[in-house]
Structure formats: structure tokens, C-alpha cells
Amino acid sequence: MLQTDLAATILSYCSETNLSVSELTRKVSGSHDKTMALIKELEERSLLLPEVSRKQSVGRPRQYLRTTPIGRQFLTEYKRLHDLSLRSNDNDIRKALHQAELAQRLVERGISPYARFQEINELARNIASTAKVKRNTR
């Protein structure tokens, strides 16, 4: 995960709910130290702000992290840029090209893609329904 991705994850969590630092580090996967360092950096850049909850009548006031308005703007911009990136890697593209090759062979042999499509779908449905029966009879 890129540092920017991790920053966006943290800002996203803190814009939705009030989380303490320990709650946040538990939610975010990856190294604890790395997350702590990033939280500190986000605070220094005023993207994240520690706040104290005064709602509780008993016990120590609870401290939690909130995403600031510029933190929310960071999130919006991040999402826009994230939409620009490809979701597939080289392997996914290779697989797709291989699948296209297989479909091409069908056409060349005069097999209707829709007929084969129906067969595949029916097979998949049959497998799914028999798997359900087996699970139910356990």
C-alpha cells in the first residue's frame, strides 16, 4: 500500500466516525509504527485534528481524531486521481487476452458464442445448486 493510500484510508475512517488513535491503528492494516507516524504527519499538515469529547459525564474525556475540511478535500482529490488508475495488473490483462483468443477459436470453428455462453451459465448454475443441496444435507 502506498503512503498516500494509507493516508486516504485513515482520513476516510476519521471522516465517518469518531475514532481514538488506538481504535484507528487497530482498524488500519499494516505496521503500527508506520500508521502512528502517518497520523502524526497528517496532524502536522492539519488534515487530521485531535478532538476531545466532553459528552461523557464520567471518566476521563475521550480523545478522538477528526478529518478536517482540508482533509476531506484531500480525500475528494484522492478519489478523483484513484479513478484514473487501472484496477488490473499485467497478469489480469494477459488472462483477458488469452480468454479472447479462446473465444476467437470458437468463432473460427463455427460454434455460436451465445450457445456456449448458455452452456457455461447452465453448468455454473448446476454446480451452484448442487453445492447448496450438499451444504443443506450436512
In the complex, the smallest distance separating the C-beta of residue 67 from other proteins, rounded to whole angstroms, is 22
Q: Cα separation of 119 and 125, whole Å?
A: 10
Q: Which of residues 48-107 bind other proteins (CB under 8 A)?
A: 83-84, 86-88, 90, 92-93, 95-97, 99-104, 106
115 binds other proteins (CB under 8 A): yes
Comparing CB distances to other proteins, the nearer of 8 and 38 is 8
C-alpha cell at 110: 463455427
> Which alpha helices (H) appear in 19-85, and where do they start and end?
21-27, 32-44, 69-84
Is the CA virtual torsion 33, 36, 40, 46 positive or negative? positive
Residue 65 · residue 51 · CB < 8 Å: yes
Q: Does 124 bind other proteins (CB under 8 A)?
A: yes
Q: Which spans of this chain sit near other proteins (rule: CB under 8 A)?
A: 83-84, 86-88, 90, 92-93, 95-97, 99-104, 106, 113-118, 120-121, 124
